[in-house]
Amino acid sequence: MNQPCTSTLGAKIKKLQETLQTAFIGCHIEHYSQVASTNDIAIARGKAGAAEGTLIIAEHQTAGRGRYGRNWEAPSGKCLLVSVVLKHRLLRDQVTLPNLVGAIAITKAIRTTHELDARIKMPNDVRIAKKKVAGVLTELVYDEEHQPFFVLGFGVNVNNVLEDFPSELRGTATSVRMACALSEGQNTEVCRILLLCDILCHLEDTYLQLKVGETGPIMNQFEVLREDEGSH
């Protein structure tokens, strides 16, 4: 069951539109304490004609999914779990680019806000020191007027500590907070709202390049931010 959020972060989310430096991403925001999947809600909103840039944000997902249908596990209140409705009609040679657009935005935001060496591991992962910190999942859909749109969903481990990860992931996953603690020697809570604002600004900038067909600059950004070949 979808549960609207009434937490302190929920109050900050209400002010997000006032401070967010974007033209259309975040034009409408829905914030929940718990959902099955933010992508599912965004797909439903998109099918019903929601405006481009509509955001769905949750504190916890019970059925979050990643690539190949894998579960995305995240402790409540520590991650960014976000989906956005986007309405660009993708050309055949562009269908793989939305994941890359999302990964570029997350990577650039982590690098600029926290000076961490985040890198993109194709096709949809963001990693720090070869440990996964974020993932992107794009789903292509048709609305009630049979017009195509897509939902770009992403999850970012922000304030997770080691004990928050299942034992089998502790050697391969990290969070922004954990990476900051290693680089700065200071284990302090990271502001999720500030990081989200930066991600959304980068996301809109890169998405607009996709909308006007400027795929060259997108691929150039990817080449700069990609993880070295041979990384695991």
In this prediction, residue 5 carries a pLDDT of: 47
Phi, psi angle pair for 85, to nearest 5°: -85, 125
Domain membership of residue 231 (yes or no) is no
Per-residue pLDDT of the chain (232 residues; tens, 9 = 90+): 455 444 455 667 767 777 899 999 999 999 999 999 999 999 999 999 999 999 999 999 987 665 545 566 677 889 999 999 999 999 888 999 999 999 999 999 999 999 999 999 988 899 999 999 999 999 999 998 899 999 999 999 999 999 999 999 999 999 999 999 998 777 889 999 999 999 999 999 999 999 999 999 999 999 999 998 764 5
Q: Give the integer Cα–Cα distance in Å for 48 and 45.
A: 5
Coil, strand or helix at 65 = strand
Domain span at residue 111? 3-225
Report the C-alpha gap between 125 and 22 in whole angstroms: 24
Per-residue pLDDT, 62: 87
Is residue 52 in a domain? yes
- Parallel/antiparallel/unpaired status of strands 29-34 and 55-58: parallel
Q: For residue 195, is it within any domain?
A: yes
- 230 within domain boundaries: no
The CATH number of whichever domain residue 70 belongs to comes to 3.30.930.10
Q: How many domains does the chain have?
A: 1
**pLDDT for the residue numbered 188:** 87
Cα dihedral value 84, 87, 91, 97, nearest 10: -20
On whether residue 91 sits in a domain, the answer given is yes
120 in a structural domain: yes
Angle value at C-alpha 82, between 11 and 163, nearest 5 degrees? 90
Give start and end residues of each alpha helix (H) in 26-150.
38-47, 97-114
